[in-house]
Amino acid sequence: MLNAENVAPVAPVPIPDDDVTPDISDNEKENDSTKSPPKLLSICMASNRDALMNSYNNNRPHAAGSSQIRNNDSPKTPTHSHNIHVPKPSTSAFVSPEVIRPHPKAGPRKGSGKGRKKEQEVTTSEDEELPPSPESVLSAFDESDISGSSCSESENEDDSNDSIIIGDWVIVNLISQKNLVHKYVGQILRESRAGYDIKFAKKINDKMFKWPVNDDISSIAKYQVVKKLPDPKVKSSSKRVISFMFPKSIRKFNIEK
């Protein structure tokens, strides 16, 4: 848009009268022919000025109306009241993250529905025989080693603890530092008022024992004697190792090695 203030005023150009025809010489005609273009330029500028002024005057009311429309279309800014109270954040109390967002809790577990497998019972036919239990296998003495009833009766008489003398073989209870009871086999060397001095043998199997390389002799009380044993037979003898074999198995006593 062009404003009237920005347009420079143009001085009026005098238009020559057609009726007046001054005498012009040939030289002056040649000079006038060269000066005619500036007069035409000024006439064009004057006509352009009038056209610009007319267009400015025609467009001025429209510009004012458009400015009003723009002013009307502009959004109204909200007016804030001074009486509205805006709360301020409080920083006096500490709020932990758990209060804002608590820890997630796991949902209830779904049961698989599978229980423990039941032990299958072993069924056997009447013709099949189950192996004997360990308790039935263990026995105080092996009856196969006894030659006759007369020999067993004489041995039972010697098994009495009341008739223990020097040289007898006995089973003895010894208590360890952890208050555990262990059974050993040994031979009575001496007798005293408090008890006996006994020499312990080392176990080879349930029937055979041997003397250790270094003699193991200690004193025991009479109540520590568990069982009197029949005299063993010397199975082998040498300068270093002497082994003994008892006529009965003493497996049930759990003799320590």
Q: Where are the alpha helices (DSSP H) in 14-103?
A: 26-73, 97-100
The pair of structure tokens assigned to 46 is: 């004057």
In three state form, how does the secondary structure of 163-190 look?
HCCCCCEEEEEEECCCCCEEEEEEEEEE
Q: Pairing mode, if any, of strands 195-200 and 181-191?
A: antiparallel
pLDDT of 229-239, one tens digit each? Answer: 999 998 776 66
Whether the model clears a pTM of 0.75, i.e. scores above it, the answer is no
How far is the C-alpha of 219 from the C-alpha of 227, rounded, in Å?
Answer: 17
Identity of the amino acid at 13: V
Q: Residue 235 has what pLDDT?
A: 79
What is the predicted pLDDT for the residue at 53? 76
Q: CA 169 to CA 201: how far, in whole Å?
A: 10
pLDDT at 77 (0 to 100): 53
Whole-number Cα distances in Å, 242 to 232, 234, 238: 12, 7, 6
Longest dimension (CA), the chain: 197
**Over the chain, what is the mean pLDDT?**
68
pLDDT digits (tens, 9 = 90+) for 45-54: 777 777 777 7
pLDDT class of 194 with cuts at 50, 70, 90: confident
Q: Where are the beta strands (DSSP E) in 100-149?
A: none
Q: Is 1 helix (H, G, I), strand (E, B) or coil?
A: coil
CB of 244 closer than 8 Å to CB of 208: yes
Give residue-wise pLDDT tens across range 89-128: 655 666 677 667 766 777 777 766 666 555 555 555 444 4
Give domain limits for the chain. 164-256
Q: Are 201 and 244 in contact (CB under 8 A)?
A: yes
Closest CA to 185 of 164, 209, 165: 209
Please report where in the chains the tokens 């408090």 appear, as a residue.
194
